[in-house]
Amino acid sequence: MGSSRSTIRDVARAAGVSVSTVSLVLNNKGNVSEATRRRVLKAARELGYVPLRTARDLSKQRTGNVGFVLREDHFTRSEPFYTYIFLGTEFEARLHSLYVLLTTIPRDYRKGEHTPRFLRERSVDGLLIAGKVSAVFLEEVRAMKLPTVLIDYEAEGFPAVVIDNQGGARVAVEHLIQQGHRRIAFIGADLRHPSIADRLEGYRIALERAGLSVDPALVLVDDEAEPTRATGQQLGARLLALAERPTAAFCANDALALGVMETLLQAGLRVPDDVALVGFDDVQGATQAPVPLTSVRVFKEQMGELAMRHLAERIGPEQTRRPYARGQHTIVAPTELVVRASSARV
């Protein structure tokens, strides 16, 4: 009936050694003869021994948890972008024997009021923050001196894992150029968001490298709007109204691109024949669009993995916490262009 789980003492008794020896074996530490090591491992296996986390963590002076924070509106939006990132962190966490505590914070974060519980209770060894969050929150985190890694966002003093926005955009636009396009529009929203600004920069670089000039009239941006489908529809209308219409458009994200596409199709234009379109993010809806959308794919799980790995390195084991090495701070996750019908050869 040996119902309740077995402890390290049981293993020690079964193997005929001391508790400390068992611990040493199980943690690959100290000098243990091959013979004893085997006896211990055998006993542990036979008893189905699994160390108790709470005991181990208490002893090791750590919590064994990391927090994953993102804005609620980001988490619940229909494109599961951050959900995939979370899954990536969860996957990598296993390799470091960490548990991930996921929590959301409101868009308009107020200090004490919304502080995640695990921060108040100090029951995480490190923190992952996904997406743009309130500066107030970042301040609070900074003050806690907790190892932290940002994902898909950047802020002074924090290491981060970000999309290669500029590179991805460049490749996308180079693709359009290669398809023979010369008049290529940029469709964007709020440029204060670093990702969008970087994508615009990638657009510029691609044009310049190809010896094409950047026509300001073709940079269609609504600086007050979010990069949504609705915004895309409006910008699509502006594109239609242009005196000299471009033959292609690179959109800062897929939502915008799908909005533009909708407007164009409704106006009777054809994609890609009249206007070719390329988006960014490769969301689920990209394949199901009326004209499947060429887009820049982002490896979301991979970003989560990279962030978690980086965080785990910072956390331990054994105050390995190296001094901040400026420049090694930001990890850039690669992208990939996925070509579909919306940019087929002219």
Binding interface with DNA (CB under 7 A):
7-9, 16-21, 23-24, 26-27, 29-33, 35-36, 49, 51-52, 55-56, 58-61
Residue 7: name its binding partner from DNA, a second copy, none (Cβ under 5 to 8 Å by kind).
Answer: DNA
87 makes contact, choosing from DNA, a second copy, none, with CB < 5 to 8 Å by partner type, with a second copy
Q: Which does 98 bind (CB under 5 to 8 A by kind): DNA, a second copy, none?
A: none
x/- mask, a second copy, residues 253-292, rule CB under 8 A, reads -------------------------------xx-------
Task: Enter the DSSP assignment of 334.
Answer: P
Asked if residue 50 binds a second copy (CB under 8 A), the reply is yes
Which CB, 55 or 267, lies closer to a second copy? 55
C-alpha distances in Å from residue 321, one per residue of 61, 148, 159, 273, 318: 16, 12, 13, 55, 8
Report the nearest approach of DNA to the CB of residue 37 (Å): 7
Cβ contact 309:89 at 8 Å:
no
Tokens 């050869």 locate to 345
Token pair 């609504």 in the structure block, residue: 222
Told to check if 140 binds a second copy by CB under 8 A, we report: no
User: Hey, which residues between 59 and 98 contact a second copy (CB under 8 A)?
Assistant: 63-65, 72, 75-80, 83-84, 86-87, 90, 94
Q: Total binding residues for a second copy by CB under 8 A?
A: 38
Selected binder of a second copy within 58, 135, 217, 267 (CB under 8 A) = 58
79 contacts which partner out of DNA, a second copy, none, CB within 5 to 8 A by kind? Answer: a second copy
End-to-end alpha-carbon separation of the chain, Å?
Answer: 75
Nearer to a second copy, 64 or 167 (CB): 64
Q: Minimum CB separation from a second copy for residue 31, in Å? A: 28
10 binds a second copy (CB under 8 A): no
Rounded to the nearest angstrom, the gap between the alpha carbon of residue 167 and the centroid of all alpha carbons in its chain is 16
- The answer to whether the peptide bond before residue 317 is cis (omega within 30 degrees of 0) is yes
Contact 30, 15 (CB under 8 A): no
In terms of Cα–Cα distance, which of 175, 335, 190, 336 is closest to 249? 175
Read off the amino acid at residue 109: Y
CB-based contact 118:134 (threshold 8 Å): no
- Both tokens of residue 14? 């079964």
The token duo for 203 is: 């657009």
Six token digits for residue 153 = 């966002």
Residue 75 site contact among DNA, a second copy, none (CB < 5 to 8 Å, cut-off depends on kind): a second copy
Q: Enumerate residues 6+ apart whose C-beta is below 8 A from 7.
A: 49, 52
Q: Are 276 and 292 in contact (CB under 8 A)?
A: no
Q: Nearest approach, Cβ of 124 to DNA (angstroms)?
A: 16
- Binding-site ranges for a second copy (CB under 8 A): 5, 50, 52-55, 57-58, 63-65, 72, 75-80, 83-84, 86-87, 90, 94, 99-104, 117-118, 120-123, 284-285
